[in-house]
Structure 1
Amino acid sequence: FLQMKFDKEGNTTYLEKKKTELYQELGLQARDLRFQHVMSIATRNNRIIMRMGFLKAVITPEFLLILDYRNLNLEHWLLNELSSQLAGEGQLVTYSLPFEFRAIEAILQYWISKLQGRLNTLQPQILETLEALVDPKLLSVDRSKLHIILQNGKSLSELETDVKVFKETILEILDEEEVIEELCLSKWTDPQVFEESSSGIDHAEEMELLLESYYRQAEDLLNEARELRVLIDDSESIVFINLDSHRNVMMRLNLQLTMGTFSVSLFGLIGVAFGMNLESSLEEDPRIFWLVTGIMFLGSGLIWRRLLSFLGRHLDPPLPPHVPAVWKKSQPAAGRVEIKTSLKGETFGLSRSTLTNQ
């Protein structure tokens, strides 16, 4: 498979070797170069094996080897950023330290920036969609917005998982002092670096500080993702509350119309009685029509009004109890405290004046 090799000066060499030849040349085992999309940082035979998802690298005191980088969209970072960072021209804080420090920091920086980029892409989309969903003026929820927030929520969950795995990987190394010592490759191969470590520059401590800095960045990134998750959950609750409110309004309106229909139907029986083909002396009087019609409308209106008042008493939430008595009782007590305080002040003033006169 294809490899890209970087030396200490950032020079790039393209290689293509078989897997068996490569792990024999590096002194590794076959399982060390197994292509698994996992996240781990391990050492073997003075070699650092880093797996960051799809990114796989082998670090030695002399060079950095990126394995099988094709079809991973890594060419831009490898050619434009990584080579300059290893040569000391990038934004790294480990220029004065051995080569493996720069290689580890460059890979960790790339991965944390990639996670940050994913969050920066999701955050405005989520906030814009949530703002449109929680609008109380909307009587219905846009299904397309719900589909978008569902996809963004799924992407946010995947991001949280990746950040947690990255954070746990670094934490496992920080808990093992021996592993931190093994990550300092040049300390055991370069006599000058060993003398610097013995004279006061603790490379293991520098490695620990480097890992802790990226651990804190991952923790901050995870907190931002959790805040977005909380916003999604809160907005979901607000959407349900708005829908329940509109549903209650429609149900109340339906109940009011049903009561009105019942009232009209109840007094409409009078019109039904007069509509039968029966003769009486009432239909001869021209004023009876208007009288019966008025009674029907007036009775229906009164019954409907009565039913609406009954509905309001039983459906409206009760008012909180009013407790003015507590405040009234507390006023005299406060007055007594003020009076006692003033009396004490007057007595203290009189005693001071008496002492002064004496």
Structure 2
Amino acid sequence: MSSSATTATALRRRHAAAGATAEEWVAVTGAGAWRVEEVGKHQLMRRTGLPARDLRALDPALSYPSSIMGRDRAVVVNLERVRAVITATEVLVPGPRDPAVAPLVRELRARLIASAPAPAPEDEAGNNRGVSPASPGGGAVDKDGQAWRSDKVLPFEFRALEVCLEFACKSLEHETSTLEKEAYPALDELTSKVSTLNLERVRQIKSRLVAISGRVHKVRDELEHLLDDDMDMVAMHLSEKLAYQAAGHSSRFDIEKEPSDFDEERDGVEEGGGSSDGGSGNETSLGFTPKIDELEILLEAYFVQIEGTLNKLSTLREYVDDTEDYINIMLDDKQNQLLQIGIMLSTGTLVLSCAIAATGVFGMNIGIPLYHAATTGVFWQVTGGIVGASAAIYLVTLLCYRRSGILQ
């Protein structure tokens, strides 16, 4: 090998290593088998046909909103803690060492094994009967035309998507239930005793309520967006796309293309006015129009579930608002009582000041006939008169306040 060829090979390897750092992914197949792989970015793009911008949505360090994106050969799921790439044959989940990923992988394995298509029945000779996937009602039939299964197994991508949706909805439902168990007793305790500790607990509960409500709203809006857009649901039929392409029809992407080719072709489609939603519009123009009833029913089921979770949070939010209103009413009542006491004290101070002023007048060094009176007990008479007059004025003033509605 020449030195120039060796240098070119080294440069290509160096470029590949610098452009795509290998990360660990969990790959779960339709049979429930799983394995941990180190997959680079470019390798993953060639494997799934995804552009780099879709892979960035799976990065936990980036705050991408909840989304479910159907592409030509994969479905990208980014719902709360659920991040996965679903193809027609496997599910790729990033970060296998994350403790939050292990429950999702276990759930995927258990559900995919349980919902895997059953093997074809054998005849008396022990041979498998031929089955037709296009039997009426979705059931398979044998060579004699007799249906041996009446239930229809969903495609792999729908079964995997269902697990992801269920995991995300259950996670939000669990957080909501936990918040409810903590919130209602704390709110009831606050209504019975307003203290700094109880107010701090309710403040933290309200902050968690706002955060969870925002996350549930994002998931609900994404499901509603998918239900309103038939083209997005068409793009998520990966198994039918493979069958459609296997029948001799072309696809937007070629498996052997490099990652840069994907981005260039996508940019070319967007500049030419084509669809930017992973090629769903292009597939439809080629005649790929699968039925979306199954996927629509699946999404509607979890839309109703997430709507129920949102209703629970709305009810809790109303209870918090009602408690705040009740506390504000209690505080206003206390404030009114304090104002009334302040009015009474101010009035008493005014009357007392008048009495002190009268006493000061009598204490002036001015000769008056009262000082020369021979009658004893004049001091106590004057003092009693001043005190009695002050008390009478104070009582009359309070009576006027009560009649005018200032005091209750």
TM-score, scaled to structure 2: 0.66
Counterpart in the other structure of 2:167: 110
1:186 matches 2:243: no
Query: SS where residue 134 of structure 1 aligns?
Result: helix
Q: Displacement, 1:127? A: 2.3
Residues 291 and 33 of structure 1, relative CA distance in 2, 3 Å threshold: same
Counterpart in the other structure of 1:234: 322
Structure 1 counterpart of 2:300, from 164, 187, 212: 212
Q: Displacement, 1:315? A: 2.8
Q: Displacement, 1:78? A: 2.0
Query: SS where residue 93 of structure 2 aligns?
Result: strand
| Count of aligned positions | 301
Q: Which amino acid aligns with 1:132?
A: E
Deviations 1:279-312 (A, max 9, x none): 7456643332332233222211210111001111
User: Whole-Å Cα distance in 1 between the matches of residues 188 and 331 of structure 2?
Assistant: 16
Q: Any unmatched runs of 5+ in structure 2? A: 1-22, 117-150, 248-289
Residues 177 and 268 of structure 1, relative CA distance in 2, 3 Å threshold: closer
Structure 2 counterpart of 1:47, from 74, 79, 87: 74
Counterpart in the other structure of 1:156: 209
Q: Displacement, 1:13? A: 1.0
User: Whole-Å Cα distance in 2 between the matches of residues 109 and 314 of structure 1?
Assistant: 65
Counterpart in the other structure of 1:87: 113
Counterpart in the other structure of 1:31: 53
Structure 2 counterpart of 1:291, from 359, 381, 384: 381
User: Whole-Å Cα distance in 2 between the matches of residues 205 and 3 of structure 1?
Assistant: 32
User: Whole-Å Cα distance in 1 between the matches of residues 235 and 306 of structure 2?
Assistant: 23
User: Whole-Å Cα distance in 1 between the matches of residues 357 and 231 of structure 2?
Assistant: 96
Q: Any unmatched runs of 5+ in structure 1? A: 195-201, 319-358
Q: Displacement, 1:263? A: 2.2
Counterpart in the other structure of 2:278: none
Q: Is the 8 A contact 1:129 1:148 kept in 2?
A: yes
Counterpart in the other structure of 2:183: 126
Q: Is the 8 A contact 1:55 1:69 kept in 2?
A: no
Counterpart in the other structure of 2:312: 224
Counterpart in the other structure of 1:256: 344
1:308 matches 2:365: no
Residues 72 and 40 of structure 1, relative CA distance in 2, 3 Å threshold: farther
Residues 218 and 155 of structure 1, relative CA distance in 2, 3 Å threshold: same
1:265 matches 2:346: no
User: Whole-Å Cα distance in 2 between the matches of residues 296 and 27 of structure 1?
Assistant: 100
Q: Displacement, 1:117? A: 1.7
User: Whole-Å Cα distance in 2 between the matches of residues 213 and 283 of structure 1?
Assistant: 103
Q: Displacement, 1:240? A: 2.2
User: Whole-Å Cα distance in 2 between the matches of residues 228 and 165 of structure 1?
Assistant: 18
Counterpart in the other structure of 1:97: 154
Q: Displacement, 1:155? A: 2.0
Deviations 1:251-298 (A, max 9, x none): 211211222232233234454444455574566433323322332222
TM-score, scaled to structure 1: 0.75
User: Whole-Å Cα distance in 2 between the matches of residues 270 and 168 of structure 1?
Assistant: 78
Q: Is the 8 A contact 1:263 1:303 kept in 2?
A: yes
Q: Is the 8 A contact 2:115 2:153 kept in 1?
A: no
User: Whole-Å Cα distance in 2 between the matches of residues 304 and 125 of structure 1?
Assistant: 52
Q: Is the 8 A contact 1:54 1:72 kept in 2?
A: no
Query: SS where residue 3 of structure 1 aligns?
Result: strand
Residues 134 and 283 of structure 1, relative CA distance in 2, 3 Å threshold: farther
Query: SS where residue 5 of structure 1 aligns?
Result: strand
Q: Is the 8 A contact 2:71 2:236 kept in 1?
A: no
Q: Displacement, 1:72? A: 5.5
Residues 5 and 203 of structure 1, relative CA distance in 2, 3 Å threshold: farther
User: Whole-Å Cα distance in 1 between the matches of residues 349 and 405 of structure 2?
Assistant: 20
Counterpart in the other structure of 1:167: 220
Counterpart in the other structure of 1:343: none
Counterpart in the other structure of 1:146: 199
Query: SS where residue 286 of structure 1 aligns?
Result: coil
Higher mean C-alpha deviation, range 181-190 or range 171-180: 181-190
**Structure with greater contact order relative to length (CA < 8 Å, sep ≥ 6):** 2
Query: SS where residue 292 of structure 2 aligns?
Result: helix
Q: Displacement, 1:106? A: 0.6
1:60 matches 2:87: yes
1:2 matches 2:24: yes
Q: Displacement, 1:4? A: 0.7
User: Whole-Å Cα distance in 2 between the matches of residues 283 and 27 of structure 1?
Assistant: 118
Query: SS where residue 14 of structure 1 aligns?
Result: strand
Q: Which amino acid aligns with 2:222?
A: T
Counterpart in the other structure of 1:323: none
Deviations 1:127-185 (A, max 9, x none): 233223333xx5xx433333333332222222122111111111121112233233232
Q: Which amino acid aligns with 1:286?
A: T
Q: Which amino acid aligns with 1:83?
A: R
Higher mean C-alpha deviation, range 294-303 or range 95-104: 95-104
Q: Is the 8 A contact 2:112 2:160 kept in 1?
A: yes
Aligned residues: CA RMSD: 2.9
User: Whole-Å Cα distance in 1 between the matches of residues 361 and 232 of structure 2?
Assistant: 100
